[in-house]
Amino acid sequence: AQKVTQAQTEISVVEKEDVTLDCVYETRDTTYYLFWYKQPPSGELVFLIRRNSFDEQNEISGRYSWNFQKSTSSFNFTITASQVVDSAVYFCALEGRGAQKLVFGQGTRLTINP
């Protein structure tokens, strides 16, 4: 069975602080894909990043960075110099080869206070 755990239910920080959202996953597949999505109050899930299981390179996109470690089955997401617009619920998701469906974590509600 596949499972994604986001242990942090809610995080609240002050603007300009760095914040890391944790994601731990379980899968028996050797090929799988990991995702992060952002859900603003409007409800739409906004795609942020996809990473396949053979690519452990960390990625940076502007203020966003992702750290993928197969050894600890983690795919953490860091926002540097957070802004109020980053306030949203963030979901980590896993898709195994052949699964044709995303398995989501419970989400982390991030609040950035001015």
Partner 1 sequence: KAGVTQTPRYLIKTRGQQVTLSCSPISGHRSVSWYQQTPGQGLQFLFEYFSETQRNKGNFPGRFSGRQFSNSRSEMNVSTLELGDSALYLCASSLGASRPAEETQYFGPGTRLLVL
| Positions that interact with partner 1 (CB under 8 A) | 32-33, 35, 37, 42-47, 50, 52, 91, 93, 95-107
Q: Give least dist CB 8 to partner 1, A.
A: 14
C-alpha–C-alpha distance, residues 111 and 1, integer Å: 32
Quick one: 13 or 24, whose CB is closer to partner 1?
A: 24
Smallest separation (angstroms) from partner 1 to the CB of 41: 11
- Residue number with CB closer to partner 1 (50 or 63): 50
39 or 73, CB closer to partner 1? Answer: 39
62: left (phi over 0), alpha (psi -120 to 50) or beta: left
Q: How far is the CB of 16 from partner 1 (least distance, A)?
A: 29
Report the DSSP pairing between strands 24-26 and 3-5.
antiparallel
Contacts of 15 (CB under 8 A, 6+ apart): 82, 83, 84, 112, 113, 114
Task: State the minimum distance, in angstroms, from the CB of residue 102 to partner 1.
Answer: 6
C-beta closer to partner 1: residue 82 or 91? 91
Tokens of 97: 């080869």
Q: Which of 1, 12, 6, 35 is nearest to 106 (CA)?
A: 6
